[in-house]
A = this chain, B = another copy of it.
């Protein structure tokens, strides 16, 4: 069984649940700060909301891919991540510098267990 939760447009879901796996994506919601740290804090908070809708939480994240618009600012994202992460249950994580659609400078894709 597949359950889908609304995303930013009707042609995308913000989260999808299949069996005991959850797929979700988050960016910082409006108003979008230019700060990498603040966008990361807000994207991670949005991720918490998405996971809660799916009946799970950050302690069950399996894999996180963090896309940022400038790899030189990875330290700012890391600060938000380290404050947020469940230290007893850290996900596998990769952080990559890519082009994102402005004003977004951080986007996070997660696979979690339910």
Contact = CB atoms under 8 A, between A and B. Distances in A.
Interface residues of A, number: 47
Interface in A15-43: 15-16, 18-21, 23-25
Question: How many copies of the shown chain assemble into the complex?
Answer: 3
Given A71-B101, A74-B101, A98-B99, A13 B107 contact: no
A96 B89 contact: no
19 contacts: A2-B60, A2-B113, A7-B92, A12-B85, A13-B91, A13-B93, A16-B92, A23-B92, A24-B92, A25-B93, A67-B94, A70-B99, A71-B99, A71-B101, A74-B101, A92-B109, A94-B107, A96-B98, A97-B98
